Amino acid sequence: MKYIKISIVVLLLSTILPVLTLRWVDPPTTSFMLQHMIKTRGEKRVDTGIYYSWVDWNNISPYAPLAVVAAEDQKFPSHWGFDRESISKAWQERRQGVRSRGASTITQQVAKNLFLWPGKSFVRKGAEAYFTILIELLWSKERILEVYLNIAQFGDGIYGIGAAGPIFFGKSALQLSRGECALMATVLPNPLRLRLDKPSSYMRQRAHWIITEMNRLDHINPKPYLKSISKRVHNLLSGLT
C-alpha cells in the first residue's frame, strides 16, 4: 500500500510540474515533433528537419486565435477542456456507423501534441483527458491559445505559426491577414493532406466559412479573452487607416 501511494505521488508530481512550468516557459519541442524526427530518420528521408519558431502572444496576428477558435472549437471560452455536446454527437454517429469529425477541443489538442502520441486507444484518450484537465486548471485561456498556435502542425515538419507564416506567406506571424489566418486554420484537421502551398477549392470554401464565423465571434465577444482579441483586431485596423 505504501508503494502504491508513493507511485501515485511520483506520477502526480511528474505530470503536474511540467504542465505548471509550461504556463510560463515556452516549450522547446513537443512529443509530436520528436516523433516526426524519429519517423523521418527511420524512413531515411532527405529532409528530416523540424521547422519551429516560437512567437509570443503579442507578436501573433490577432486574427489567428480568432480563426482557430472559429474553425476548431467555438465553445473554447466557456468549456473546461471538453465539449460534451460534440463528444455525445460524435459517439452517436460512430455507433450508427457514420464517419464523423473528431470532437477534440483546442485544449485536448494541446495536451496530445505536447505530451502524447497519435492514435485512438483508450489509454491515449485517458492520458489526453488527464493532461487536458491539468492544462485547464493551471493555464489561462490565452496561454492555451498561445501554445496551440505555436505547436499546431501546418505542414510536413512545419509546426507553429512562427514557422508557417514565413514559409507559406512570406510574412511574420504578426503580419498575417484575416484571410491568411482563416486559410491556415483549414489545414488543422489534416496538415499533411490539406496543403497551404496548394490550397484546394474545399480549403478556400472552408476559409470563407471560417471568416464568416470570425466576424460573428468578433461581435459577440462572449468572454474576456475574446474581447482582448477583438480589441487587438480593431487596434490593428485603426493603425492601417
Give pLDDT, residue 132. Answer: 96
Q: Residue 72 domain-assigned?
A: yes
Domain count, the chain: 1
Q: Residue 193 domain-assigned?
A: yes
3-class DSSP assignment, residue 92: helix
Q: Which residues of 144-165 are buried (b: 16+ CB within 10 A; e: fewer)?
A: bbbbbbbbbbbbebbbbbbbbb
CB 74, CB 63: distance < 8 Å: no
Q: To 5 degrees, how large is the angle CA 108–CA 110–CA 113?
A: 105
Give pLDDT, residue 13. Answer: 82
Q: Which three cell numbers stand for residue 193?
A: 493532406
Structural domain of 63: 2-236
**Total Cβ atoms within 10 A of residue 25:** 9
Q: Residue 16 domain-assigned?
A: yes
Give pLDDT, residue 200. Answer: 95
CB 154, CB 126: distance < 8 Å: no
Q: What is the mean pLDDT of each run of 10 residues along the chain (241 residues)?
A: 72 88 96 90 71 96 95 90 72 57 85 90 90 95 96 96 97 96 96 94 97 88 74 70 47
Q: Residue 241 domain-assigned?
A: no
Q: Which three cell numbers stand for residue 18?
A: 511540467
Measured distance CA(103)–CA(179) in Å, rounded: 25
Measured distance CA(221)–CA(152) in Å, rounded: 24
Give pLDDT, residue 154. Answer: 97
Q: Residue 42 domain-assigned?
A: yes
**CATH classification of the domain holding 71:** 1.10.3810.10
Give pLDDT, residue 85. Answer: 75
Give pLDDT, residue 94. Answer: 58
Q: Residue 48 domain-assigned?
A: yes
Give pLDDT, residue 241. Answer: 47
